[in-house]
Amino acid sequence: MQAPKNGNVRWFMLSLVFLATTINYLDRQVMGLLKPILEKEFVWDEKDYSYIVMAFTATYAIGYLAMGRFIDRVGTKVGYAVSLIVWSLASIGHGFVKSTLGFIIARSTLGISEAGNFPAAIKSVAEWFPKKERALATGIFNSGATVGAILAPLLVPYILGHYGWRETFVWIGALGLIWIILWWKFYTIPEKTKRLSKIEFQYIKSDQNGQTEEHSKVPLSELLKYKVTWSFAIGKILTDPIWYFFMFWLPAYFSDVFKMDMTKPSLPLIIIYSGTTVGSIGGGYLSSFLIKKGWAIGRARSLTMLLFALMVVPVMFSKYVDNMWLITVVIAFATAAHQGWGANLMTTVGDKLPNNYVSSVIGFGGMLGSAAGIIFPLFIGIILDAFKKAGNINGGYNIIFFIAGISYVAAWAIIWLINRKKTA
């Protein structure tokens, strides 16, 4: 069935999800950008900072599973709203803490609540888009993460320079409370949307086998029977920790290695995170294009993910690059590839499972990916502290970039092996 030329309601709903994802990443990026300021004020070493990152990733892991199950139970509208209200208040709360313990508590609350974004977003896409458009829709909303990461290096230095780090957390955290008004007023599922045309409704449901929103609780044991549950989890375990490094340590990397002034807008970071927008939308477009050309859904997703995995490989050779602009390009390709990879990985869940399973499986895999991310920040902190004391901080970063370069290809290979047999 062809897409209706005058049917745009599904894209409007997607725009709300895009905005929420933008706010999600804008809120979490503030901490990384303020790291050079905060470590001086609170006398942190790299290990202290890694504990704060671990607090976020540990609760993010717990929140992924808990919020995924919660969203499948109460529905996308209520679940997403609860998640965003809590994480906005948690983000604002960072501006009022006065100790390292206070930051750990604030980051923990942020982690458990922000974990609801992707289970809710993927469930929304499954509700509003046919399978042939889901990777593109996922790539578009997922690009909100990169838009948030682009806005952060622009907004944070401005607010920091004029008002201070506390106000930076408060002002940016308050953006989510505005989004809640739009979400609650406009979001519904297709079956309850009066302004949705019959043609667009039929197009949305054209390959969904008549699925409607269900709020029944699916046992975790049932979810673990499916190969897609485990292949998604493996993909998250091996690549999420790398994304956390790109997210939380890149500002410090450019500050440590290239002496970048973090009180001013950072052009390398803007370039890097701008590239991720292209990767996210491009990754979703490529697999959707192949499917429309007649490729099997699984084959289209797999090939696209392999291409993006290979794009990350050059970052492992960062030790041979000492030019800031050249390494910026290399990292930009790697981070763009991550977003293209992630857009397709998340879409595989909705490809193979009923809508009322989607948030729970996304939550389960996201939990394991975040659990892997709990240990990796500690490893980063130990490595960077050791190399900093030896007067070669760049050597520590090179080790981490090497690990990043091989992680995605390894993840793709394992996923391919899991899905070789024609079973669930």
Going from the C-alpha of 92 to that of each of 85, 104, 134, 168, the distances in angstroms are: 11, 14, 33, 9
* Residue pLDDT, tens place only, 57-81: 889 888 888 888 898 888 899 999 9
Q: How far is CA 139 from the centre of its chain?
A: 11
Contacts of 71 (CB under 8 A, 6+ apart): 79, 80, 83, 116, 119, 120, 123, 359, 363
pLDDT digits (tens, 9 = 90+) for 102-114: 999 999 999 999 9
Phi–psi pair at 177, nearest 5 degrees: -70, -25
* Number of neighbours of residue 321 by Cβ within 10 angstroms: 18
* Tens digit of each residue's pLDDT (9 = 90 or more) over 130-144: 888 888 888 888 888
Are 58 and 374 in contact by the 8 Å Cβ rule? The answer is: yes
Q: What is the pLDDT of residue 196?
A: 87
Structural domains for the chain: 8-188 (1.20.1250.20), 222-417 (1.20.1250.20)
Q: Which 8-state DSSP code applies to residue 217? A: P
The set of residues, in sequence order, having a beta carbon less than 8 Å from that of 73 and lying 6+ positions away, is 79, 215, 217
Going by C-alpha positions, the residue among 124, 163, 69, 145 that lies closest to residue 361 is 69
Mean pLDDT of 332-347: 89
- Give the Cα separation of 17 and 116 in Å (integer): 12
- Quote the tokens at residue 229: 């549950």
Tens of pLDDT, residues 250-299: 888 888 888 877 666 678 888 887 787 788 888 888 888 898 888 888 88
**Token pair 């974990």: residue:** 115
Residues 382-418: tens digit of each pLDDT: 888 888 888 888 888 999 999 999 999 999 999 999 8
pLDDT at 204: 87
Q: Looking at residue 314, what is its pLDDT?
A: 93
pLDDT surpassing 60 at residue 6: no
